Amino acid sequence: MSAARDWPLYEIFIRARGGLDHKHVGSVHAADAAMAVEHARDVYTRRQEGVSIWVARSSDIVASDPAESDALFEPARDKIYRHPTFYDIPKEVETL
Amino acid sequence: MYTQGLLEQGGKGVAAAAVEDSERLRRFEARIEAEEKIEPKDWMPDAYRQTLIRQISQHAHSEIVGMLPEGNWITRAPTLLRKSILIAKVQDEGGHGAYLYSAAETLGISRAEMIDQLLAGKAKYSSIFNYPTLTWADIGAIGWLVDGAAIMNQIPLCRCSYGPYARAMIRVCREESFHQRQGYDIMLKLARGTAGQRRMAQDALNRWWWPSLMMFGPSDGASQHTALSVRWKIKRFTNDELRQKFVDFTVPQAKFLGITVPDAALHWDESAARHHFGEIDWAEFHEVLRGNGPCNRERLAARRQAHDAGRWVREAAAAHAAKHAARAAAA
Amino acid sequence: MSAAGPDGVAISDRVRHLLRLADTSLVLAQRLGEWVGHAPAIEEDLGLANTALDLLGQSRLLLSYAGELEGKGRGEDALAFLREEADFLNVTLAEQPNGDFGDTIVRQFLIDAYQLELYERLVASKDARLAEIAAKAVKETRYHLRFSSAWLVRLGDGTAESHARVQASLERLWPYSRELFDADELDRQIASAGIGPDLATLHDAWSSRVDAVLAEATLRRPADTPYLWYGKQGRHSEHLGYLLTELQYLQRTHLGASW
């Protein structure tokens, strides 16, 4: 059972919107860099638009003591059913 | 919840770690105490690492296997909007699985190894996904109850001591409340619909209520692995605490729908200010964990089939990438 | 009997034209929905689901518009869930079964390349609403084509096994591509009214695109076969009946219910 059977691991960095830095959001497995960008789009940006995605082979990253932070996401306007506020849950029903 | 069936060393783990390096352990535990996050390159006791690998990978497996009972109704969703919502939800679950495998990999295990464990039947996933989705109302019940229970478990995990897991949980929680709301929305429509639809809703609640309560795991008295997980801030609340909270939140929601929770013993306990509920059938729970639930074999068979049928595809992608790297190098 | 619009095309014909577009996207989305949870990797589950969602979105916009134009009170769901096989006007290629991942990618690629050329031209349609729908669909289809082309190349120029499999998929599905470009009376009317493109031009553009990707994928373009399919006229393969049975089951069982 060897890790060589996985596609290589890529670390993913996303710029949520203009003016922000790219932030590390996690990793994906992909056969090549182009696939990694597509996978990152599908895994990490289902709720946002206007992103920039950087991918780097995990093995290429040289680390000291990385400080990682979360990326912020903006809603994708035409997929409103993803968002909690889309549903008209009656006010009497609490805690949903 | 993702540690149902997890075997842990308990006290033995602490003793073994102390032998490893008592000063490092002391500093590690002080960091935990101070609510600092542990990151991938930090020193950690082996028991901490192994517990997290098992818990995170089982959580990931749960998301992936969880795509199957709901995916079952994508082609039969009753409107185009419901079909879209269900695809988006199941897509989110796949995404959650991906975040979690990612988080687990930071601890030194590969995705291939984790998948192998799942397909060999060596790893567990949440018991709830071994139940069948027999009607459209089941999709509502899963969103409302199963995702509701998952949210209850996942919110505290956002404060888990291990950075990558906590961050994955924050991302998951942001997406999860859509899941529960769409489930309750389905139930609302059914409860206010035709006689046939109301019957469907009640039937789904009858079948999904008790398995949802079982999701929280054995009762605290019967649970051996809690102590270390609580001490190292992997587990922030006990099984019974979360289960009680779930019951207290959910019973009024069922009342609003006008359907009955299938528990004759259920009643509001005024003095304790909480709902008293009946005894869970722990025999059923253990059988399901052992592999003898309604759909255990089918779920695993489906995952094995997808993995095997996809092997030539994954290999082709790797071969293509290698050819191109070689051509680029030669150019 | 149907009133003609200002462009001389009967309303019922404009509705039929919209249904051809809508049903192709709907049926293809339905097929992709079957893959969820069974793809070769989680990330491909997400990619196929993404395409399915986009196609569903397109079909909903087109069906709603068709229903409004028709003026008989049928909305997107009435059209999707209560029509019979002979009234579905998707191209036959869209309803072909998923088969293996290679079959699915070939089917997707052939339709993505067709839809991209089609939507790019529909952006200039004299029907403003259709042009607006097409403008949104163009962006989505570019991404779909990127996904399916990239996979076709990986499979075609991957291993010996993947090459053989996907060449076989191509041979099997190629005969269905002819229907996309065979202009019938409706296509000709729609083209002369400036609502839709001339299919011959569409075919040439599609053909160049396809050739370029097949070359990169080291795949052989199959010969055209004489048999013509007529899904867009409501005469389908045996597959559509089963597909609609699943799609329509709940609405037909609980007539008139809200969901």
The tens digit of pLDDT for each residue in C108-148 reads 999 999 999 999 999 999 999 999 999 999 999 999 999 99
CA of residue B274 relative to chain centroid, distance: 25
Residue type at C96? Answer: Q
Residue C70 has pLDDT above 60, yes or no: yes
**What sign for the dihedral angle of Cα B299, B304, B310, B314?**
positive
Residue C231 has pLDDT above 70, yes or no: yes
Question: Closest-CA residue in chain B for C31?
Answer: B75
Residue C248 has pLDDT above 60, yes or no: yes
3-state secondary structure chain B: CCCCCCCCCCHHHHHHHHHHCHHHHHHHHHHHHCCCCECCCCCCCHHHHHHHHHHHHHHHHHHHHHHHHHHCCCCCCCCHHHHHHHHHHHHHHHHHHHHHHHHHHCCCCCHHHHHHHHHCCCCCCCHHHHCCCCCHHHHHHHHHHHHHHHHHHHHHHCCCCEHHHHHHHHHHHHHHHHHHHHHHHHHHHHHCCCHHHHHHHHHHHHHHHHHHHHCCCCCHHHCCCHHHHHHCCCCCCCHHHHHHHHHHHHHHHHHHHCCCCCCCCCEEECCCCEEECCCCCHHHHHHHHHCCCCCHHHHHHHHHHHHHHCHHHHHHHHHHHHHHHHHHHHC
Q: Looking at A16-25, A71-80, B219-228, C120-129, which range is the least confident one?
A: A71-80
3-state secondary structure of C150: helix
A89 at B interface, C-beta within 8 A: yes
Could you tell me which of B89, C86, C140 has the C-alpha nearest to residue A81?
B89
B41 at C interface, C-beta within 8 A: no
* pLDDT value of position A74: 36
Per-residue pLDDT 10s for chain B (331 aa) are 665 544 344 444 555 545 557 888 898 999 999 999 998 888 889 999 999 999 999 999 999 999 999 999 999 999 999 999 999 999 999 999 999 999 999 999 999 999 999 999 999 899 999 999 999 999 999 999 999 999 998 999 999 999 999 999 998 998 888 899 999 999 999 999 999 999 999 999 999 999 999 999 888 888 766 778 888 888 888 899 999 999 999 999 999 999 999 999 999 999 999 999 999 999 989 888 888 899 999 999 999 999 999 999 999 999 999 999 888 887 7
3-state secondary structure of C10: strand
Measured CA to CA, the distance from residue A80 to residue B61 in angstroms comes to 28
Could you tell me which of B87, C113, C182 has the C-alpha nearest to residue A82?
B87
Rg of the Cα trace of chain B? Answer: 21
Q: Looking at A72-81, B117-126, B178-187, C86-95, which range is the least confident one?
A: A72-81
Alpha carbon of A50 to those of A82, B196, C48, C164: distances in Å? 18, 45, 21, 39
pLDDT classification of A51: cutoffs 50, 70, 90? confident
* pLDDT average, residue stretch C48-54: 97
Tokens 């134009």 found at: C69
Nearest-by-Cβ selection for B95 from A2, A43, A90 = A43
Tokens 């818990």 found at: B55
Residue B6 CB coordination number (10 Å): 16
Residue A45 has pLDDT above 90, yes or no: no
Measured CA to CA, the distance from residue C76 to residue C63 in angstroms comes to 5
Classify residue B272 by burial, with Cβ atoms within 10 Å: 0-12, 13-18, 19+: exposed
Separation in Å, CA of C5 to nearest CA in chain B: 29
Residue C229 CB coordination number (10 Å): 20
* pLDDT average, residue stretch C20-39: 97
pLDDT classification of A88: cutoffs 50, 70, 90? low
Asked if residue A47 lies in contact with residue A74, where contact means CB atoms within 8 angstroms, the answer is yes
Q: In what order do the strands lie in the sheet with A52-57?
A: A23-29, A9-15, A52-57
Q: CB distance C162–B319 less than 8 Å?
A: yes
Contact list in A for residue B174 (CB cut-off 8 A) is 73
Among B residues 63-92, those touching chain A with beta carbons less than 8 Å apart: 81, 84-85, 88, 91-92
pLDDT classification of A20: cutoffs 50, 70, 90? confident
Measured CA to CA, the distance from residue B230 to residue A51 in angstroms comes to 38
Tokens 């990326």 found at: A71
Q: CB distance A29–C47 less than 8 Å?
A: no
* pLDDT value of position B2: 61
Question: What number is the ipTM of this complex?
Answer: 0.96
Q: CB distance A39–C43 less than 8 Å?
A: yes
First CA to last CA distance, chain B: 53
Global pTM reads 0.90
* pLDDT value of position B18: 53
Residue A4 has pLDDT above 80, yes or no: no
Residues 6+ apart with CB under 8 A from C110: C93, C173, C174, C176, C177, C180, C210
Half-sphere exposure of B134 (CA within 13 A, CB side): 14
Measured CA to CA, the distance from residue B142 to residue B184 in angstroms comes to 9
CA of residue C16 relative to chain centroid, distance: 15
Best to test chain B binding among C45, C51, C56 (most B CBs inside 10 Å): C45
* pLDDT value of position A3: 39
Q: Looking at A15-19, B298-302, C69-73, which range is the least confident one?
A: A15-19
Asked if residue C105 lies in contact with residue C151, where contact means CB atoms within 8 angstroms, the answer is yes
A47 at C interface, C-beta within 8 A: no
